[in-house]
């Protein structure tokens, strides 16, 4: 095997070389943002092969995404000039586990042709079980049941290992479904993604001979983004590595931001306890950002207790300080950000290298509105544009049919949302009648009801929604269009449908609906709002050219941009109110890590902003600047206080006056905690 002319050890710093060359025994590489983590990991693999420590098929290398696996394979192939450089055991936790199970499927009661089912199939199977067991899915949604099942699997718990909290009836019912769900999967010769790793761990524990086969084969194990691992993944790694103990995990505890999907930061923090004689190597030299950005991020994250500790530095210029900007409200924040981009940054950077990172996806609306107005190209990464989101399109369809009863497209979209036993056959019946008699679907429904041509089960739901249409049209005569939207979402059962699902996706959709209603306040009437939406959605956003990036901070992990905007740094929004109320100090530390991730995406310039006022439940309320702003080192930031006519000079460190007007959730929570003089409850 020959190394390419480009030596993989060239142009590396001392710690990077150490992380590559020191191969024996357990090793934890604490790789700060922009410190060359991927290069170190791939170079370490190349070095193992170059030194003839192992053949490619004796190296296990696991990642969390297929994209990361492909990137690693390409880099290693670039270092090694032969086809043998292809690594058969390089892939995601799930893809490697699937490969292992195909070889030994009978050990877990499957055959090698087993099917891996997706989330849609999972939900369908759970619904069928609920129906058979007479479990009301209106009280316990399949999505909620599935979230419990996934949590148990992430913790390595089969049905027989689950212990419900004090015999809570709800959890007992879900556990019963879990038991039948696993039994059904076996009958179907199928497994879900959680099963892939769980079955492997079960197989290794019950079949020492199979485990021994792979313990002997894998001379070296390497893991990318180890801070994102969950309990069952850490078990999987431990079992495979305990014989030779040559395991190297790379990650950053300061970028552990996925606890909501099962990641456990303690796997990273306790690595040296799990693997004795661990060598810890810290990669602190950053090759991405200016020193001001790094120092600001380091000063902020230093407030966390659960971390190994490091301080990023760079040989690059000190650069611009992180700019802190206060705006009057959310709309002016969007306008201010767009003005900075259009009049300053556009001259220096490509729009493709400018990003707006938000805490919650609903925040994109005001920025989208602004960009549409001024004709600036944008893309929403890791999500759908605001007016194209399913819940927004559903809500607007309700408004369209209220506004115009002949809108058949709107009628068809929402006539059975939420479910009203109005199926495709009924819609077809309405279409046929409408074509024959030249009538709208709504008028066709009225006709067929009058002549008793609708099935009894369907009739009830159809009559109910048609009556609601008429009621809402009357409501529009006396109520504001945004008030009507709230009524429609309530009386149609749409909000209830989302609340009953009790999952993160549904919570996000509810936030989007609140943002929709907030946005409707900017229009005088329903007609004006619907016209705005039509024009916004008809504008071709796929034109060639450059576009500003809009995404959540979670979606931005692993990316980098010349300039980054971080809007909405307000108590209640960031750190997020619900997260703090549910998990207290643990959530606060993760929110701070999220802020760290956001800041370290910027290469040259970073802008943090918050608004004095936000629309909340139809009223303007005062906002409180995020505590994270006060935690930023003063020497690395520049504060731009708000100064306008008719507005008193506004300072970031606000004095609290509890009796002054309406306050945001952040203000209210701060008031309660100040009065009670208590810490966040863990």
Residue 232 three-state SS: helix
State yes or no: is 589 an active-site residue: no
Sequence-distant (6+) residues with CB within 8 A of 288 are 33, 34, 314, 560, 600, 603
Longest dimension (CA), the chain: 85
Sequence-distant (6+) residues with CB within 8 A of 302 are none
Please name every residue paired with 644 in a beta bridge, in sequence order, or none if there are none. Answer: 647
Asked if residue 580 lies in contact with residue 588, where contact means CB atoms within 8 angstroms, the answer is yes
Listed in sequence order, the DSSP H helices in 246-290 are 266-269, 271-274
- Compute the CA torsion angle 343, 344, 350, 355 (nearest 10 deg): -100
State yes or no: is 332 an active-site residue: no
Asked if residue 269 lies in contact with residue 308, where contact means CB atoms within 8 angstroms, the answer is yes
For 633-658, give the DSSP string: -GGGEEEE---BTTB----SSPPP-T
End-to-end CA distance of the chain: 55
State yes or no: is 224 an active-site residue: yes
Task: Count CB neighbours of 113 within 10 A.
Answer: 8
Q: At CA 575, angle to CA 571 and CA 580, rounded to 5?
A: 105
Residues of the chain by 3-state class (helix, strand, coil), percent to 5: 55, 15, 30
Catalytic residue among 37, 153, 400, 669: 37
Ramachandran angles phi, psi of 59, nearest 5° = -115, 125
Mind spelling out the 3-state secondary structure of 548-567?
Answer: EEEEEHHHHCCCCEEEEEEC
Catalytic residue among 17, 22, 38, 127: 38
For 177-225, give the DSSP string: HHHHHHHHHHHTTEE-HHHHHHHHHHHHHH-HHHHHHHHHH-SEEEESS
CA dist 644 → 244, 257, 309, 327, 330 (Å): 67, 38, 42, 10, 16
In this structure, what DSSP letter does residue 576 have? Answer: B
Length of the chain: 682
In this structure, what DSSP letter does residue 328 have? Answer: E
| Whole-angstrom distance, CA of residue 292 vs CA of residue 603 | 10
| Whole-angstrom distance, CA of residue 283 vs CA of residue 19 | 9
State yes or no: is 601 an active-site residue: yes
| Whole-angstrom distance, CA of residue 312 vs CA of residue 318 | 13
Catalytic residue among 192, 195, 224, 571: 224
State yes or no: is 253 an active-site residue: no
Catalytic residue among 601, 604, 614, 669: 601
Q: Which of 310, 315, 317 is nearest to 32 (CA)?
A: 310
State yes or no: is 37 an active-site residue: yes
Catalytic residue among 16, 44, 195, 225: 225
- Per DSSP bridges, beta strands 354-358 and 561-566 are parallel
Helices (H) then strands (E): counts for the chain = 30, 16
Name the residues annotated as catalytic: 37-38, 224-225, 255, 601
């Amino acid at each position: 095997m020959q190394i390419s002319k480009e030596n993989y050890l060239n142009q590396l710093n001392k710690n990077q070389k150490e992380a590559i060359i020191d191969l024996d025994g357990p090793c934890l590489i604490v790789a700060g943002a922009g410190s060359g983590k991927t290069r170190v990991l791939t170079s370490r693999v190349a070095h193992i092969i170059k030194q003839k420590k192992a053949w490619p098929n004796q190296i296990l290398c696991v990642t969390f995404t297929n994209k990361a696996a492909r990137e690693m394979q390409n880099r290693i192939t670039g270092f090694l000039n032969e086809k043998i450089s292809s690594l058969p055991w390089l892939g995601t936790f799930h893809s490697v586990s699937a490969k292992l199970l195909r070889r030994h499927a009978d050990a877990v009661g499957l055959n090698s042709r087993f099917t891996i089912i997706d989330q849609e199939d999972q939900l369908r199977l759970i619904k069928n079980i609920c129906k058979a067991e007479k479990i009301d899915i209106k009280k316990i949604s399949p999505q909620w049941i599935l979230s419990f099942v996934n949590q148990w699997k992430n913790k390595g718990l089969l049905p027989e290992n689950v212990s419900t909290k004090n015999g809570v009836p709800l959890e007992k019912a879900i556990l019963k479904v879990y038991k039948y769900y696993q039994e059904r999967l076996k009958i179907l010769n199928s497994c879900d993604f959680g099963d892939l790793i769980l079955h492997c761990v079960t197989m290794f524990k019950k079949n020492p001979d199979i485990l021994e086969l792979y313990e002997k084969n894998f001379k070296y194990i390497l893991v990318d983004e180890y801070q994102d691992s969950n309990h069952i993944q850490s078990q999987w790694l431990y079992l495979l590595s305990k014989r030779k103990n040559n395991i190297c995990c790379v990650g950053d505890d300061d970028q552990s931001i996925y606890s909501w999907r099962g990641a456990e930061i303690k796997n990273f923090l306790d690595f040296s306890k799990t693997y004795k004689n661990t060598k810890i190597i810290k990669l602190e030299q950053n090759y991405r950002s200016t020193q001001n950005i790094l120092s600001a991020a380091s000063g902020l994250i230093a407030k966390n207790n659960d971390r190994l500790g490091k301080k990023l530095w760079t040989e690059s210029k000190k650069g611009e300080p992180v700019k802190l900007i206060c705006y009057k409200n959310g709309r002016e924040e969007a306008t201010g950000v767009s003005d900075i981009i259009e009049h300053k940054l556009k001259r220096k950077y490509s729009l493709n290298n400018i990003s707006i990172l938000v805490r919650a996806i609903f925040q994109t609306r005001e920025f989208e509105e602004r960009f549409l107005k001024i004709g600036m190209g944008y893309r929403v990464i890791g999500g759908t544009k605001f007016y194209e989101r399913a819940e927004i399109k559903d809500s607007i369809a309700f408004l369209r049919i209220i506004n115009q009863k002949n809108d058949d497209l709107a009628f068809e979209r929402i006539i059975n949302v939420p479910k009203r036993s109005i199926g495709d056959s009924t819609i077809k019946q309405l279409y046929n009648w409408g074509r024959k008699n030249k009538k709208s679907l709504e008028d066709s429904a009225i006709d067929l009801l009058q002549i008793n041509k609708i099935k009894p089960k369907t009739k009830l739901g159809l009559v109910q929604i048609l009556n609601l249409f008429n009621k809402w049209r009357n409501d529009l005569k006396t109520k504001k269009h945004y008030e009507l939207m709230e009524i429609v979402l309530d009386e149609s059962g749409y909000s209830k449908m989302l609340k009953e699902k009790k999952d993160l996706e549904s919570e996000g959709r509810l936030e989007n609906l609140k943002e929709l209603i907030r946005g409707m306040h900017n229009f005088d009437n329903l007609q004006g709002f619907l016209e705005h939406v039509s024009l916004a959605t008809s504008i071709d956003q796929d034109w060639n050219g450059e576009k500003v990036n809009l995404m959540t901070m979670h979606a931005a992990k692993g990316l980098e941009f010349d300039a980054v905007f971080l809007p909405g740094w307000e108590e209640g929004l960031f750190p997020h109110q619900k997260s703090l109320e549910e998990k207290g100090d643990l959530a606060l530390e993760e929110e701070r890590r999220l802020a760290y991730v956001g800041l370290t995406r910027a290469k040259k310039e970073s802008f943090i902003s918050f608004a004095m006022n936000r629309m909340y439940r139809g009223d303007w309320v005062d906002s409180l600047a995020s505590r994270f702003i006060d935690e930023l080192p003063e020497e690395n930031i520049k504060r731009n206080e708000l100064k306008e006519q008719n507005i008193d000079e506004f300072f970031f460190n606000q004095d609290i006056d509890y009796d002054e007007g309406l306050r945001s959730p952040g203000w209210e929570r701060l008031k309660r905690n100040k009065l009670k003089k208590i810490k966040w409850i863990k």
